[in-house]
Amino acid sequence: MNRLTADQARQLAARVVALTQADAAETLVISADDSLTRFADNRIHQNVTETDTRVSVRAVLGNRQGVASTNRLDDESLAGCCADAVAAASAAPADPEFPGLPSPVPVQTPVRAAEAAAGFGPEQRAEVALGIVRQCSSRLIQAAGGVASTLQTVAIGNSLGVDVGMETTSVRATVLAQSDRGGSGWASFFGPDPAGLVADALGDEAATLAQRSEYPADLEPGSYTVVLAPEAVADIVDFLGYLGFSARSFEEGRSFLSGNLEKRIMSELVTISDNACAPESFGLVFDYEGMPKRRVPLIENGVATSVVTDSYWAARTGRENTGHALPAPNAFGPMTLDLMMGAGDSTLDEIIGSVERGVYVTRFHYVNAEDPVPVTLTGMTRDGTFLIEDGALATPLKNQRFTQGAVAALNAVKGVTSERAFFDVMLGSALVPGLLIDGWEFTGQTG
Protein backbone atom coordinates (compact mmCIF):
# COMPACT_ATOMS: atom_id res chain seq x y z
CA MET A 1 0.00 0.00 0.00
CA ASN A 2 1.33 3.42 -0.92
CA ARG A 3 0.83 6.81 0.59
CA LEU A 4 -2.22 8.55 -0.88
CA THR A 5 -1.97 11.68 -3.01
CA ALA A 6 -3.91 14.73 -1.87
CA ASP A 7 -6.67 14.01 -4.40
CA GLN A 8 -6.93 10.36 -3.34
CA ALA A 9 -7.07 11.37 0.32
CA ARG A 10 -9.81 13.95 -0.39
CA GLN A 11 -11.81 11.35 -2.31
CA LEU A 12 -11.45 8.86 0.53
CA ALA A 13 -12.56 11.52 3.03
CA ALA A 14 -15.61 12.35 0.93
CA ARG A 15 -16.51 8.66 0.54
CA VAL A 16 -16.34 8.08 4.29
CA VAL A 17 -18.41 11.21 5.02
CA ALA A 18 -21.07 9.79 2.68
CA LEU A 19 -20.93 6.40 4.42
CA THR A 20 -21.67 7.91 7.85
CA GLN A 21 -25.33 7.69 8.76
CA ALA A 22 -25.60 10.79 10.92
CA ASP A 23 -26.94 14.35 10.75
CA ALA A 24 -23.48 15.56 9.85
CA ALA A 25 -20.03 14.00 9.55
CA GLU A 26 -16.39 14.94 9.23
CA THR A 27 -13.50 12.75 8.08
CA LEU A 28 -9.80 13.28 8.59
CA VAL A 29 -7.37 11.23 6.48
CA ILE A 30 -3.66 11.15 7.35
CA SER A 31 -1.46 9.08 5.06
CA ALA A 32 2.29 9.03 5.61
CA ASP A 33 5.61 7.45 4.78
CA ASP A 34 7.99 7.91 7.72
CA SER A 35 11.62 6.79 7.55
CA LEU A 36 14.46 7.21 10.00
CA THR A 37 18.08 6.16 10.06
CA ARG A 38 19.56 6.36 13.55
CA PHE A 39 23.23 6.14 14.42
CA ALA A 40 25.15 5.90 17.69
CA ASP A 41 28.73 5.06 18.54
CA ASN A 42 29.64 6.00 14.92
CA ARG A 43 27.52 3.25 13.34
CA ILE A 44 23.93 2.93 12.11
CA HIS A 45 22.09 0.88 14.72
CA GLN A 46 18.43 1.44 13.84
CA ASN A 47 16.90 1.95 10.40
CA VAL A 48 13.15 1.93 10.00
CA THR A 49 10.34 2.77 7.62
CA GLU A 50 6.58 2.83 7.94
CA THR A 51 3.60 3.35 5.65
CA ASP A 52 0.19 3.96 7.17
CA THR A 53 -3.08 5.65 6.34
CA ARG A 54 -5.52 6.52 9.15
CA VAL A 55 -9.11 7.53 8.69
CA SER A 56 -10.91 9.28 11.53
CA VAL A 57 -14.65 9.94 11.49
CA ARG A 58 -16.58 12.45 13.60
CA ALA A 59 -20.30 11.71 13.55
CA VAL A 60 -22.79 14.34 14.67
CA LEU A 61 -26.36 13.65 15.82
CA GLY A 62 -28.04 16.94 16.69
CA ASN A 63 -25.56 18.48 19.11
CA ARG A 64 -23.97 15.19 20.13
CA GLN A 65 -20.75 13.87 18.63
CA GLY A 66 -18.54 10.79 18.63
CA VAL A 67 -15.27 9.84 16.96
CA ALA A 68 -13.85 6.58 15.65
CA SER A 69 -10.73 5.81 13.64
CA THR A 70 -9.15 2.94 11.75
CA ASN A 71 -6.27 2.14 9.46
CA ARG A 72 -8.17 -0.69 7.74
CA LEU A 73 -9.35 0.72 4.44
CA ASP A 74 -11.59 -2.07 3.11
CA ASP A 75 -15.27 -1.15 2.70
CA GLU A 76 -16.46 -3.26 5.61
CA SER A 77 -13.93 -1.79 8.05
CA LEU A 78 -14.68 1.76 6.95
CA ALA A 79 -18.42 1.16 7.37
CA GLY A 80 -17.72 -0.31 10.83
CA CYS A 81 -15.68 2.73 11.76
CA CYS A 82 -18.52 5.05 10.69
CA ALA A 83 -20.99 2.96 12.69
CA ASP A 84 -18.73 3.17 15.78
CA ALA A 85 -18.63 6.97 15.47
CA VAL A 86 -22.42 7.10 15.19
CA ALA A 87 -22.81 4.78 18.19
CA ALA A 88 -20.53 7.06 20.21
CA ALA A 89 -22.55 10.11 19.22
CA SER A 90 -25.81 8.44 20.16
CA ALA A 91 -24.44 7.54 23.60
CA ALA A 92 -23.32 11.12 24.26
CA PRO A 93 -25.53 13.46 26.27
CA ALA A 94 -26.80 16.59 24.52
CA ASP A 95 -24.14 19.31 24.31
CA PRO A 96 -25.83 22.72 23.87
CA GLU A 97 -22.44 24.40 23.50
CA PHE A 98 -21.46 22.40 20.41
CA PRO A 99 -21.77 24.85 17.50
CA GLY A 100 -21.86 22.12 14.84
CA LEU A 101 -19.22 21.31 12.26
CA PRO A 102 -17.68 24.34 10.56
CA SER A 103 -18.90 25.40 7.11
CA PRO A 104 -16.38 25.54 4.28
CA VAL A 105 -14.11 28.56 3.96
CA PRO A 106 -11.87 28.87 0.89
CA VAL A 107 -8.31 27.69 1.53
CA GLN A 108 -5.35 28.49 -0.72
CA THR A 109 -3.10 25.43 -0.57
CA PRO A 110 0.42 26.20 -1.77
CA VAL A 111 2.61 23.39 -3.13
CA ARG A 112 4.79 22.51 -0.16
CA ALA A 113 5.78 18.88 -0.84
CA ALA A 114 9.40 18.83 -2.00
CA GLU A 115 10.16 16.23 -4.64
CA ALA A 116 13.70 15.84 -3.36
CA ALA A 117 12.28 14.54 -0.05
CA ALA A 118 10.54 11.67 -1.89
CA GLY A 119 13.84 10.45 -3.37
CA PHE A 120 15.59 10.57 0.00
CA GLY A 121 15.80 6.82 0.56
CA PRO A 122 17.84 4.57 2.88
CA GLU A 123 21.03 4.91 0.78
CA GLN A 124 20.78 8.72 0.80
CA ARG A 125 20.11 8.76 4.55
CA ALA A 126 23.11 6.47 5.08
CA GLU A 127 25.27 8.84 3.04
CA VAL A 128 24.30 11.75 5.29
CA ALA A 129 25.00 9.61 8.37
CA LEU A 130 28.38 8.66 6.92
CA GLY A 131 29.33 12.31 6.30
CA ILE A 132 28.44 13.19 9.87
CA VAL A 133 30.18 10.17 11.38
CA ARG A 134 33.41 10.85 9.41
CA GLN A 135 33.63 14.36 10.84
CA CYS A 136 33.47 12.87 14.32
CA SER A 137 35.39 9.60 14.05
CA SER A 138 38.38 11.36 12.47
CA ARG A 139 38.65 13.37 15.71
CA LEU A 140 38.10 10.33 17.97
CA ILE A 141 34.65 11.64 18.82
CA GLN A 142 31.49 9.51 19.03
CA ALA A 143 28.58 10.60 16.87
CA ALA A 144 24.94 9.77 17.58
CA GLY A 145 21.83 11.13 15.92
CA GLY A 146 19.35 10.52 13.18
CA VAL A 147 18.38 11.33 9.62
CA ALA A 148 14.63 11.28 9.05
CA SER A 149 12.13 12.03 6.33
CA THR A 150 8.36 12.35 6.51
CA LEU A 151 6.09 12.48 3.47
CA GLN A 152 2.58 13.22 4.61
CA THR A 153 -0.81 13.74 3.03
CA VAL A 154 -3.66 15.22 5.06
CA ALA A 155 -7.23 15.65 3.84
CA ILE A 156 -10.40 16.75 5.61
CA GLY A 157 -13.94 16.58 4.34
CA ASN A 158 -17.28 17.23 6.00
CA SER A 159 -20.93 17.00 5.08
CA LEU A 160 -21.24 20.79 4.92
CA GLY A 161 -18.80 20.89 2.03
CA VAL A 162 -15.35 21.19 3.60
CA ASP A 163 -12.99 19.49 1.14
CA VAL A 164 -9.28 20.22 1.57
CA GLY A 165 -6.12 18.21 1.06
CA MET A 166 -2.41 18.86 1.02
CA GLU A 167 0.90 17.04 0.84
CA THR A 168 3.86 18.14 2.94
CA THR A 169 7.39 16.87 3.40
CA SER A 170 10.04 17.33 6.05
CA VAL A 171 13.61 16.22 6.56
CA ARG A 172 15.33 16.26 9.91
CA ALA A 173 18.88 15.48 10.99
CA THR A 174 20.46 15.62 14.43
CA VAL A 175 24.01 15.11 15.62
CA LEU A 176 25.24 14.62 19.14
CA ALA A 177 29.04 14.53 19.30
CA GLN A 178 30.66 13.23 22.50
CA SER A 179 34.33 13.06 23.41
CA ASP A 180 35.70 10.84 26.17
CA ARG A 181 36.96 13.94 27.99
CA GLY A 182 33.46 15.17 28.82
CA GLY A 183 32.98 17.24 25.68
CA SER A 184 29.55 17.29 24.11
CA GLY A 185 28.29 19.14 21.03
CA TRP A 186 25.09 19.32 19.03
CA ALA A 187 23.84 20.40 15.63
CA SER A 188 20.50 19.91 13.93
CA PHE A 189 18.68 20.50 10.65
CA PHE A 190 14.94 20.72 10.00
CA GLY A 191 13.51 21.69 6.63
CA PRO A 192 11.08 20.72 3.87
CA ASP A 193 13.67 18.86 1.76
CA PRO A 194 17.25 17.57 2.00
CA ALA A 195 18.63 20.41 -0.16
CA GLY A 196 19.83 22.48 2.78
CA LEU A 197 21.27 19.51 4.65
CA VAL A 198 25.07 19.46 4.40
CA ALA A 199 26.30 16.42 6.30
CA ASP A 200 29.93 17.48 6.66
CA ALA A 201 28.99 20.93 7.97
CA LEU A 202 26.53 19.51 10.46
CA GLY A 203 29.03 16.91 11.70
CA ASP A 204 31.76 19.54 11.90
CA GLU A 205 29.58 21.93 13.92
CA ALA A 206 28.76 19.28 16.53
CA ALA A 207 32.30 17.83 16.67
CA THR A 208 33.88 21.28 17.04
CA LEU A 209 31.53 22.10 19.89
CA ALA A 210 32.37 18.77 21.56
CA GLN A 211 36.10 19.52 21.32
CA ARG A 212 35.54 23.03 22.63
CA SER A 213 33.50 21.81 25.65
CA GLU A 214 35.92 19.24 27.09
CA TYR A 215 36.73 19.19 30.82
CA PRO A 216 33.63 21.15 31.89
CA ALA A 217 33.84 23.12 35.16
CA ASP A 218 31.42 23.77 38.02
CA LEU A 219 29.18 26.83 38.24
CA GLU A 220 27.73 28.27 41.44
CA PRO A 221 23.91 28.33 41.35
CA GLY A 222 22.45 31.82 41.05
CA SER A 223 21.19 34.49 38.74
CA TYR A 224 23.09 34.90 35.45
CA THR A 225 22.91 36.78 32.18
CA VAL A 226 22.41 34.09 29.54
CA VAL A 227 22.70 33.85 25.80
CA LEU A 228 20.33 31.14 24.61
CA ALA A 229 21.04 29.72 21.17
CA PRO A 230 17.89 29.35 19.01
CA GLU A 231 17.36 25.67 19.84
CA ALA A 232 17.11 26.53 23.56
CA VAL A 233 14.64 29.32 22.80
CA ALA A 234 12.49 26.85 20.84
CA ASP A 235 11.77 24.88 24.03
CA ILE A 236 10.62 28.00 25.87
CA VAL A 237 8.35 29.19 23.07
CA ASP A 238 6.94 25.66 22.79
CA PHE A 239 5.80 25.77 26.44
CA LEU A 240 4.26 29.23 25.99
CA GLY A 241 2.13 27.69 23.23
CA TYR A 242 1.25 24.62 25.25
CA LEU A 243 0.21 26.53 28.36
CA GLY A 244 -0.78 30.00 27.31
CA PHE A 245 -1.62 30.89 23.72
CA SER A 246 -4.89 28.95 23.50
CA ALA A 247 -8.36 30.51 23.86
CA ARG A 248 -9.17 27.63 26.19
CA SER A 249 -6.43 28.22 28.79
CA PHE A 250 -7.07 31.95 28.40
CA GLU A 251 -10.78 31.62 29.18
CA GLU A 252 -10.14 29.23 32.05
CA GLY A 253 -7.77 31.67 33.73
CA ARG A 254 -4.83 29.29 33.34
CA SER A 255 -2.84 31.41 30.87
CA PHE A 256 -0.34 34.21 31.43
CA LEU A 257 -2.50 36.08 28.91
CA SER A 258 -5.63 35.77 31.09
CA GLY A 259 -6.61 39.31 32.06
CA ASN A 260 -3.54 40.71 30.32
CA LEU A 261 -4.57 41.35 26.71
CA GLU A 262 -3.37 44.74 25.47
CA LYS A 263 -0.90 44.90 28.37
CA ARG A 264 2.86 44.77 28.07
CA ILE A 265 3.94 41.50 29.69
CA MET A 266 7.29 40.90 27.95
CA SER A 267 10.25 42.94 26.72
CA GLU A 268 9.41 45.13 23.74
CA LEU A 269 12.06 43.16 21.83
CA VAL A 270 9.72 40.14 21.92
CA THR A 271 7.26 39.57 19.06
CA ILE A 272 5.62 36.18 18.65
CA SER A 273 3.02 35.08 16.14
CA ASP A 274 1.60 31.83 14.86
CA ASN A 275 1.89 31.81 11.11
CA ALA A 276 1.51 28.64 9.06
CA CYS A 277 1.06 30.78 5.94
CA ALA A 278 4.49 32.43 6.03
CA PRO A 279 6.42 31.68 2.83
CA GLU A 280 9.17 29.93 4.78
CA SER A 281 6.71 27.58 6.56
CA PHE A 282 6.38 24.03 5.28
CA GLY A 283 3.43 22.63 7.23
CA LEU A 284 -0.31 22.51 6.67
CA VAL A 285 -2.16 25.76 5.89
CA PHE A 286 -5.47 24.45 7.27
CA ASP A 287 -6.33 22.98 10.64
CA TYR A 288 -7.75 19.53 11.45
CA GLU A 289 -11.30 20.79 10.83
CA GLY A 290 -10.23 22.02 7.37
CA MET A 291 -10.36 25.70 8.34
CA PRO A 292 -7.73 28.05 6.90
CA LYS A 293 -4.92 29.03 9.23
CA ARG A 294 -4.10 32.69 9.43
CA ARG A 295 -1.31 34.69 10.98
CA VAL A 296 -2.22 35.35 14.61
CA PRO A 297 -0.20 38.02 16.42
CA LEU A 298 0.22 36.75 19.99
CA ILE A 299 2.84 39.08 21.48
CA GLU A 300 3.68 42.31 19.64
CA ASN A 301 6.67 44.24 20.97
CA GLY A 302 5.99 42.73 24.36
CA VAL A 303 2.26 43.47 24.38
CA ALA A 304 -0.18 40.55 24.75
CA THR A 305 -2.29 40.66 21.61
CA SER A 306 -4.54 37.66 21.12
CA VAL A 307 -5.07 33.92 21.40
CA VAL A 308 -5.75 31.13 18.91
CA THR A 309 -9.13 29.43 18.45
CA ASP A 310 -10.86 26.53 16.76
CA SER A 311 -14.53 26.32 15.75
CA TYR A 312 -15.69 25.37 19.25
CA TRP A 313 -13.69 27.99 21.17
CA ALA A 314 -14.38 30.67 18.57
CA ALA A 315 -18.12 30.13 19.00
CA ARG A 316 -17.87 29.88 22.76
CA THR A 317 -15.85 33.07 23.19
CA GLY A 318 -17.24 35.14 20.31
CA ARG A 319 -13.84 35.27 18.60
CA GLU A 320 -12.97 34.58 15.00
CA ASN A 321 -11.88 31.06 14.09
CA THR A 322 -8.10 31.30 13.57
CA GLY A 323 -7.74 27.71 12.30
CA HIS A 324 -6.01 26.01 15.24
CA ALA A 325 -8.11 22.89 15.78
CA LEU A 326 -6.38 19.64 16.66
CA PRO A 327 -7.92 16.37 15.43
CA ALA A 328 -11.34 15.64 16.97
CA PRO A 329 -12.12 14.88 19.72
CA ASN A 330 -9.81 17.51 21.07
CA ALA A 331 -9.56 17.59 24.85
CA PHE A 332 -6.74 20.17 24.80
CA GLY A 333 -8.41 23.07 23.02
CA PRO A 334 -6.91 25.00 20.11
CA MET A 335 -3.11 24.93 19.86
CA THR A 336 -0.40 26.89 18.10
CA LEU A 337 1.55 24.64 15.72
CA ASP A 338 3.59 27.24 13.80
CA LEU A 339 5.05 29.68 16.31
CA MET A 340 7.44 32.30 15.01
CA MET A 341 9.46 34.74 17.04
CA GLY A 342 10.69 37.92 15.35
CA ALA A 343 14.39 38.33 14.58
CA GLY A 344 16.57 41.10 15.99
CA ASP A 345 19.36 42.98 14.29
CA SER A 346 22.53 41.70 15.98
CA THR A 347 24.26 38.46 15.10
CA LEU A 348 24.71 35.76 17.73
CA ASP A 349 28.43 36.58 17.82
CA GLU A 350 27.72 40.27 18.37
CA ILE A 351 25.35 39.44 21.21
CA ILE A 352 27.91 37.15 22.87
CA GLY A 353 30.42 39.98 22.32
CA SER A 354 28.24 42.35 24.34
CA VAL A 355 28.27 40.16 27.48
CA GLU A 356 30.89 40.82 30.12
CA ARG A 357 30.03 37.77 32.22
CA GLY A 358 27.30 35.27 31.54
CA VAL A 359 26.42 31.76 30.40
CA TYR A 360 25.93 30.48 26.85
CA VAL A 361 23.42 27.65 26.34
CA THR A 362 23.41 25.52 23.17
CA ARG A 363 20.19 23.75 24.04
CA PHE A 364 18.05 22.40 26.86
CA HIS A 365 17.16 18.87 27.91
CA TYR A 366 13.95 17.50 29.45
CA VAL A 367 12.18 20.79 30.14
CA ASN A 368 8.96 20.59 32.12
CA ALA A 369 6.53 23.09 33.64
CA GLU A 370 6.18 23.37 37.41
CA ASP A 371 3.63 26.21 37.51
CA PRO A 372 1.35 26.95 34.55
CA VAL A 373 0.50 30.65 34.82
CA PRO A 374 4.04 32.08 35.09
CA VAL A 375 5.17 29.13 32.92
CA THR A 376 7.79 28.22 35.52
CA LEU A 377 10.06 25.77 33.74
CA THR A 378 12.78 23.48 34.99
CA GLY A 379 15.24 21.62 32.82
CA MET A 380 18.91 21.04 32.15
CA THR A 381 21.36 22.56 29.73
CA ARG A 382 23.04 20.12 27.35
CA ASP A 383 25.73 19.74 24.68
CA GLY A 384 27.76 22.90 25.02
CA THR A 385 27.28 25.19 28.04
CA PHE A 386 29.95 27.87 28.45
CA LEU A 387 30.86 30.72 30.70
CA ILE A 388 30.96 33.97 28.70
CA GLU A 389 33.75 36.28 29.83
CA ASP A 390 34.62 39.63 28.27
CA GLY A 391 32.48 39.02 25.24
CA ALA A 392 33.73 35.56 24.33
CA LEU A 393 32.98 31.94 25.16
CA ALA A 394 35.36 30.92 27.95
CA THR A 395 35.38 27.89 30.29
CA PRO A 396 33.00 25.05 29.34
CA LEU A 397 30.52 24.30 32.13
CA LYS A 398 28.87 21.15 33.44
CA ASN A 399 25.20 20.82 32.52
CA GLN A 400 23.17 23.22 34.63
CA ARG A 401 19.64 22.95 36.01
CA PHE A 402 17.44 26.01 35.73
CA THR A 403 14.17 26.83 37.47
CA GLN A 404 12.83 29.93 35.78
CA GLY A 405 9.54 31.62 34.89
CA ALA A 406 9.39 31.84 31.09
CA VAL A 407 7.20 34.94 31.04
CA ALA A 408 9.55 36.75 33.43
CA ALA A 409 12.53 35.66 31.31
CA LEU A 410 10.95 37.04 28.15
CA ASN A 411 10.35 40.28 30.02
CA ALA A 412 14.10 40.43 30.69
CA VAL A 413 15.20 40.00 27.07
CA LYS A 414 18.00 42.44 26.21
CA GLY A 415 18.92 41.22 22.77
CA VAL A 416 17.54 39.12 19.90
CA THR A 417 19.70 37.54 17.21
CA SER A 418 19.24 38.16 13.51
CA GLU A 419 19.72 34.44 12.85
CA ARG A 420 16.64 32.26 13.18
CA ALA A 421 16.11 28.54 12.63
CA PHE A 422 13.20 26.09 12.43
CA PHE A 423 12.90 23.37 15.04
CA ASP A 424 10.68 20.37 15.32
CA VAL A 425 9.05 20.87 18.75
CA MET A 426 6.38 19.20 20.92
CA LEU A 427 3.68 21.26 19.16
CA GLY A 428 4.49 21.39 15.45
CA SER A 429 7.43 23.58 14.49
CA ALA A 430 8.93 26.82 15.79
CA LEU A 431 11.01 29.45 13.99
CA VAL A 432 13.03 31.31 16.61
CA PRO A 433 16.11 33.49 17.11
CA GLY A 434 18.68 33.36 19.91
CA LEU A 435 18.12 35.58 22.96
CA LEU A 436 20.12 37.56 25.50
CA ILE A 437 18.30 37.41 28.85
CA ASP A 438 19.16 38.95 32.23
CA GLY A 439 18.60 37.30 35.59
CA TRP A 440 18.24 33.66 34.52
CA GLU A 441 18.10 31.33 37.56
CA PHE A 442 20.42 28.33 37.59
CA THR A 443 19.48 26.17 40.59
CA GLY A 444 21.85 23.20 40.41
CA GLN A 445 24.10 21.14 38.19
CA THR A 446 24.68 17.56 37.14
CA GLY A 447 26.59 15.22 39.46
Residues 408-447 that bind another protein (CB under 8 A): 441, 443-447
Q: Does 145 bind another protein (CB under 8 A)?
A: yes
Q: Does 200 bind another protein (CB under 8 A)?
A: no
Q: Does 369 bind another protein (CB under 8 A)?
A: yes
The residue length of the chain stands at: 447
Of the residues 4, 129, 284, 314, which one makes contact with another protein according to CB under 8 A? 129
Burial of 143 (0-12, 13-18, 19+ CB in 10 A): buried
Q: Does 63 bind another protein (CB under 8 A)?
A: no
> Is 235 or 338 the residue whose CB approaches another protein more closely?
235
Q: Does 75 bind another protein (CB under 8 A)?
A: no
> Is 87 or 217 the residue whose CB approaches another protein more closely?
87
Q: Does 1 bind another protein (CB under 8 A)?
A: yes
> Is 330 or 346 the residue whose CB approaches another protein more closely?
330
Of the residues 7, 18, 48, 214, which one makes contact with another protein according to CB under 8 A? 48
Q: Does 28 bind another protein (CB under 8 A)?
A: no
Of the residues 116, 118, 126, 277, which one makes contact with another protein according to CB under 8 A? 126
Residues 236-255 that bind another protein (CB under 8 A): 252-254
Residues in contact with another protein, shown as a per-residue x/- string from 323 to 362 under the rule CB under 8 A: ------xxx-------------------------------
Of the residues 19, 23, 34, 297, which one makes contact with another protein according to CB under 8 A? 34
Q: Does 5 bind another protein (CB under 8 A)?
A: no
Burial of 231 (0-12, 13-18, 19+ CB in 10 A): buried
> Is 7 or 370 the residue whose CB approaches another protein more closely?
370
Q: Does 70 bind another protein (CB under 8 A)?
A: yes
Of the residues 18, 21, 95, 301, which one makes contact with another protein according to CB under 8 A? 95
Of the residues 37, 135, 213, 385, which one makes contact with another protein according to CB under 8 A? 37
Longest dimension (CA), the chain: 71
Please state the closest distance from residue 161 (CB atom) to another protein, in A.
25
> Is 70 or 311 the residue whose CB approaches another protein more closely?
70
Please state the closest distance from residue 366 (CB atom) to another protein, in A.
5
Q: What is the 3-state secondary structure (H, E, C) of the chain?
A: CCCCCHHHHHHHHHHHHHHCCCCEEEEEEEEEEEEEEEEECCEEEEEEEEEEEEEEEEEEECCEEEEEEECCCCHHHHHHHHHHHHHHHHHCCCCCCCCCCCCCCCCCCCCECCHHHHCCCHHHHHHHHHHHHHHHHCCCCEEEEEEEEEEEEEEEEECCCCEEEEEEEEEEEEEEEECCCCCEEEEEEEECCHHHCCHHHHHHHHHHHHHHCCCCECCCCEEEEEEECHHHHHHHHHHHHHHCCEHHHHHCCCCCCCCCCCCECCCCCCCEEECCCCCCCCCCCECCCCCECCCEEEEECCEECCCECCHHHHHHHCCCCCCCCCCCCCCCCCCCCEEEECCCCECHHHHHHCCCEEEEEEEEEEEEEEECCCCEEEEEEEEEEEEEECCEEEEEECCEEEEEEHHHHHHCEEEEEEEEEEEECCCCEEEEEEEEEEEEEEEEECC
Choose one: 13-21, 278-286, 396-404, 414-422; the region binding another protein (CB under 8 A). Answer: 396-404
> Is 47 or 109 the residue whose CB approaches another protein more closely?
47
Of the residues 4, 14, 30, 89, which one makes contact with another protein according to CB under 8 A? 89
Please state the closest distance from residue 215 (CB atom) to another protein, in A.
16
Number of amino acids touching another protein (CB under 8 A)? 91
Of the residues 8, 211, 317, 403, which one makes contact with another protein according to CB under 8 A? 403
Which residues make Cβ contacts (< 8 Å) with residue 181, sequence separation at least 6? 214, 215
Of the residues 264, 319, 401, 414, which one makes contact with another protein according to CB under 8 A? 401
